[in-house]
Chains A and B, each alone.
Chain A
């Protein structure tokens, strides 16, 4: 294989980039643990499989020295700071490794008063991208394996963090896939679009991975788990599946940070992030709101302004 072909295969991102980010994370994590600045660091450890990484809460310098950043570091770790994972963290300030997309979730959670900036030491990553589905192989990022969200990333460089790990390499522009797909679906006649989503939701097995992996699905009582009375059918059938996915998308409108973890986690490959993006588009048009790395005190759907658009009230 010639050098040019190799570069194309690897998306132009050299493994040395990930090694450098890994080294930077390790030394900073070890330092803040040693100084006692944090009681734990939430980061990634290598999995048994070459193409896998696992989220981890490390509390010792030794463990911190094993932290990694690789294309397999897909998880949005902000989830581990939420109520959904309460009780797993020691008290005191917590260090957390965050990609740009994860930072938006951290900002959103701050805006919803779920976490406080002062309680965190954020190790931001100059992020070149991560893989989509975890696949077998050597773990190297290719144009075929890079996550769809990374193809259209606008958050490569972290903002408002305590430490920045790595230097962003030159990134070859990748064509957007998700935006095109969204436009294709948007252009469908309504009946066809409805048929498209019915087909997608028909595959849902109600494993709830999309809910459990979402940093914003921290409700202690989910409407969809209620059975007295039952609000959404819990059996995996078309009616309940459709209701669940619409409830999910609506409840995340104006809150979703766009990390696309729901879609990545779906074992049935339902393109859930298309719904999130559609909602985000709506929020942008109606309220000029978009998820950002800076915490905003109140999301647009959590407040009322007299000049809010009311044209939908008929």
Chain B
């Protein structure tokens, strides 16, 4: 028998978690859009719309301090950020295209260097994913191996039912713990029919073939044709659930300041600008190529995963209408 939670109890669950001093993050209305933001109570949760930015910022904030420095008696002293003080967190209501991203990013943040900031947050987080029931013509999760009902990456996965409640599937031990700790809010029982799932209008891509094509098309007119219109902004990368590049800046004065880690994007002209003045990706052609190569070849080469969950955010946000779904379709066709 599956566990069921009513919508009212889902909101009560948030209230309880907040009372337990947990950081509860979920989709919340923020002016003209919905964003994943800290929820102060259950009523804040706004389900049914894809938040404008992905949920990656719970683990990989837009900007975070990684140390502070200051001069004391002529000696520069460095103070680390106390990562132990990061709160236990629950991400609730993450759609499959967002819930799936941390499990992709774990690979790179625990590879040759352990990013303790990311990993500490990750360790302390439980992800409650939810099946997706609405989509638009930019969505292409099913094309890249995800699905509106994919529990990949979720610790606990909710499926909206026709009667307004949710069927709960504990995917991991973290998910089981969340349910058992709040057992009174869940009940065992026969589930009503599931609400109709989103159905992205997109053909499945052959990612292996696309990768093969990329292996042999480092030089191809395709890259220039995209670069012709690409502006070199970072909108696509910043709202992407899987893009994870960051820059580190010391800000303040030589006597007192903060070292900050913040999002960066390979579309920026200065992204690979060396201190020498040499820039290996000196033109947009090479930068956009890197975006596709990183997502569909390099990351796969290194970690066996594709760096895209098909959320479609980059397609919606691109100021010049660059459509990664369209580009992948074209490569798929060319790859035969």
Binding site for B on A (CB under 8 A): 47-57, 72, 75, 79-80, 84, 87-88, 134, 136, 203, 205-209, 211-213, 225, 227, 230, 233-237, 261, 264-265, 267-269
Q: Once the chains are docked, how many angstroms separate the CA of A124 from the CA of B323?
A: 27
Contact between A209 and B234 (Cβ–Cβ < 8 Å)?
Answer: yes
Contact between B249 and A227 (Cβ–Cβ < 8 Å)?
Answer: yes
Pick the contact of A269 from B31, B247, B316, B326 — CB < 8 Å?
A: B31
**A49-B138, A75-B319 given as contacts; is B33 within 8 A of A269 (CB)?**
yes
Contact between A136 and B136 (Cβ–Cβ < 8 Å)?
Answer: yes
- For A79, give the chain B residue with the smallest CB separation: B231
Contact between A207 and B265 (Cβ–Cβ < 8 Å)?
Answer: yes
Pick the contact of B263 from A87, A225, A236 — CB < 8 Å?
A: A236
Interface residues on B, range: 35 or more
By secondary structure, the B interface counts as: loop
**A48-B326, A52-B321, A136-B136 given as contacts; is B232 within 8 A of A212 (CB)?**
yes
Contact between B235 and A265 (Cβ–Cβ < 8 Å)?
Answer: yes
Pick the contact of B319 from A49, A72, A205, A261 — CB < 8 Å?
A: A261
A52 to chain B, nearest CB (A): 5
Contact between B234 and A208 (Cβ–Cβ < 8 Å)?
Answer: yes
A195 to chain B, nearest CB (A): 14
Q: Once the chains are docked, how many angstroms separate the CA of A211 from the CA of B263?
A: 17
7 new A-B pairs (CB below 8 Å) besides A52-B321, A207-B238? A55-B320, A205-B53, A208-B268, A209-B235, A234-B262, A267-B235, A267-B238
Residue B251 at the A interface, CB < 8 A?
yes
Contact between A267 and B317 (Cβ–Cβ < 8 Å)?
Answer: yes
Contact between B137 and A136 (Cβ–Cβ < 8 Å)?
Answer: yes
Pick the contact of B322 from A54, A209, A264, A268 — CB < 8 Å?
A: A54
Residue B62 at the A interface, CB < 8 A?
yes
Q: Once the chains are docked, how many angstroms separate the CA of A79 from the CA of B321?
A: 15
Instruction: State the 9 A-B residue pairs at the shortest beta-carbon distance, nearest first.
Output: A136-B136, A265-B319, A212-B231, A209-B233, A212-B233, A54-B321, A207-B234, A48-B326, A207-B235
Tell me the residues in window 261-304 of chain B with beta carbons closer than 8 Å to chain A beta carbons: 262-263, 265, 268, 270, 283
By secondary structure, the A interface counts as: loop
Pick the contact of B233 from A48, A88, A208 — CB < 8 Å?
A: A208
**A207-B234, A209-B234, A212-B232 given as contacts; is B268 within 8 A of A87 (CB)?**
no
Pick the contact of A55 from B229, B251, B283 — CB < 8 Å?
A: B229
Q: Once the chains are docked, how many angstroms separate the CA of A168 from the CA of B259?
A: 56
**A47-B326, A269-B32 given as contacts; is B228 within 8 A of A209 (CB)?**
no
- For A200, give the chain B residue with the smallest CB separation: B31
Contact between B231 and A235 (Cβ–Cβ < 8 Å)?
Answer: no
Pick the contact of B249 from A79, A87, A235 — CB < 8 Å?
A: A235
**A49-B323, A233-B251, A235-B260 given as contacts; is B235 within 8 A of A57 (CB)?**
no
Point out the residues of chain B lying under 8 angstroms from A235, CB to CB. Answer: 63, 249, 251, 260, 262
**A56-B229, A261-B319 given as contacts; is B251 within 8 A of A267 (CB)?**
no
Point out the residues of chain A lying under 8 angstroms from B270, CB to CB. Answer: 225
Residue B94 at the A interface, CB < 8 A?
no
Contact between A75 and B52 (Cβ–Cβ < 8 Å)?
Answer: no
Question: Which of the listed residues A51, A87, A267, A269 has the most CB atoms from chain B within 10 Å of its own CB?
Answer: A267
Point out the residues of chain B lying under 8 angstroms from A72, CB to CB. Answer: 321
Residue B311 at the A interface, CB < 8 A?
no
- For A220, give the chain B residue with the smallest CB separation: B269
Contact between B52 and A230 (Cβ–Cβ < 8 Å)?
Answer: no
A-B contact pairs, 14 of them (CB 8 A): A47-B326, A48-B326, A53-B321, A54-B321, A54-B322, A205-B234, A206-B234, A209-B233, A211-B233, A227-B249, A235-B249, A235-B251, A267-B53, A267-B238
Q: Once the chains are docked, how many angstroms separate the CA of A54 from the CA of B262?
A: 30
B315 to chain A, nearest CB (A): 7
A57 to chain B, nearest CB (A): 6
Contact between B323 and A47 (Cβ–Cβ < 8 Å)?
Answer: yes
Contact between B228 and A136 (Cβ–Cβ < 8 Å)?
Answer: no
Point out the residues of chain A lying under 8 angstroms from B283, CB to CB. Answer: 87
Contact between B263 and A205 (Cβ–Cβ < 8 Å)?
Answer: yes
Residue B310 at the A interface, CB < 8 A?
no
Point out the residues of chain A lying under 8 angstroms from B105, CB to CB. Answer: none
Contact between B229 and A54 (Cβ–Cβ < 8 Å)?
Answer: yes
A77 to chain B, nearest CB (A): 10
Contact between A48 and B268 (Cβ–Cβ < 8 Å)?
Answer: no
A137 to chain B, nearest CB (A): 9
Pick the contact of A50 from B137, B268, B323, B325 — CB < 8 Å?
A: B137
- For A87, give the chain B residue with the smallest CB separation: B283
Tell me the residues in window 89-139 of chain B with beta carbons closer than 8 Å to chain A beta carbons: 136-138
Q: Once the chains are docked, how many angstroms separate the CA of A209 from the CA of B268?
A: 10
Q: Once the chains are docked, how many angstroms separate the CA of A304 from the CA of B238?
A: 42
Residue B239 at the A interface, CB < 8 A?
yes
Q: What mask results when residues 217 to 244 of chain B are scored 1 for a CB within 8 Å of chain A, else 0?
A: 0000000000111011111011100000
